């Protein structure tokens, strides 16, 4: 009986071995991925089930309600406002805007119409206008400011701009504003503390 040596047999065994190793590695990788996903999902479910720990209310500073917008006693297209907007669209010099703001007739929307002009002039670096815009935002100012919401930080910035432009009255307004801010900070206002920390 003759035995023939087939040299293809060892190669075939190697291919079977390599294929088996690749298959085992694929099973391990896929199985590991499935196990990892299941474990991850289980952990996230447990974390979601945990009650979230809120900060203790006693340690929180008193929360102030945001000021509610003032309801204007006029429609948004009131004649005086429309006239001012039309002038602004056509273009106006900052000095003429100041003169127009001073000459506006006494109507319910006068303060808001004037603010548009004052703010435009203040942004053009007119110190007088910056002082007036600061008063609009100043919580100490009790004059008519229309629907403009009080903002001590904005008031501070505009008063500083007015002072830099030579409006010495701004010093008094800044002193009054600082007293108001210090009082608010003492009562726990975070915003007031932040403004005080940056006060020059």
Across the chain, mean pLDDT equals 81
Give residue 5's pLDDT: 46
Percent of the chain with pLDDT over 90: 39
User: What distance, in Å, lies between the first and last C-alpha atoms of the chain?
Assistant: 110
Give residue 1's pLDDT: 46
Contacts of 55 (CB under 8 A, 6+ apart): none
Instruction: Name the residue with higher pLDDT: 125 or 188.
Output: 125
Tell me how far apart the alpha carbons of residues 92 and 121 are, in angstroms, rounded to a whole number: 10
Contacts of 58 (CB under 8 A, 6+ apart): none
DSSP label at residue 77: T
Length of the chain equals: 200
- Alpha-helical runs (H) found in 91-148: 94-103, 110-123, 127-137
Tell me how far apart the alpha carbons of residues 153 and 124 are, in angstroms, rounded to a whole number: 20
Segment 21-45, tens digit of pLDDT: 888 888 888 888 887 787 777 655 6
Segment 108-138, tens digit of pLDDT: 888 999 999 999 999 999 999 999 999 999 9
Q: Is 63 helix (H, G, I), strand (E, B) or coil?
A: coil
Instruction: Name the residue with higher pLDDT: 111 or 46.
Output: 111
Output the CA torsion sign for 182, 115, 68, 198.
negative
Give residue 95's pLDDT: 94
pTM for the whole structure: 0.64
Give residue 42's pLDDT: 64
């Amino acid at each position: 009986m003759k035995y023939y040596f087939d040299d293809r047999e060892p190669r075939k065994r190697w291919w079977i071995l390599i294929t088996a190793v690749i298959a085992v590695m694929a099973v391990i990788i896929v199985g590991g991925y499935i196990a990892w996903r299941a474990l991850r999902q289980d952990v996230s479910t447990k974390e979601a089930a945990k009650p979230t720990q809120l900060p203790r209310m006693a340690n929180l500073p008193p929360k102030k309600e945001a000021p509610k917008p003032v309801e204007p006693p006029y429609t948004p297209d009131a004649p005086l406002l429309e006239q001012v907007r039309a002038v602004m669209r056509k273009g106006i010099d900052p000095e003429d805007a100041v003169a127009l703001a001073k000459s506006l007739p006494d109507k319910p929307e006068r303060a808001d119409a004037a603010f548009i002009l004052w703010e435009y002039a203040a942004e053009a670096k007119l110190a007088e206008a910056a002082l007036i815009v600061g008063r609009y935002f100043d919580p100490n100012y009790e004059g008519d400011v229309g629907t403009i919401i009080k903002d001590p930080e904005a008031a501070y910035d505009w008063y500083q701009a007015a002072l830099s432009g030579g409006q010495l009255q701004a010093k008094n307004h800044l002193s009054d504003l600082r007293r108001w801010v210090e009082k608010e900070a003492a009562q726990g206002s975070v915003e007031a503390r932040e403004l005080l920390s940056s006060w020059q």
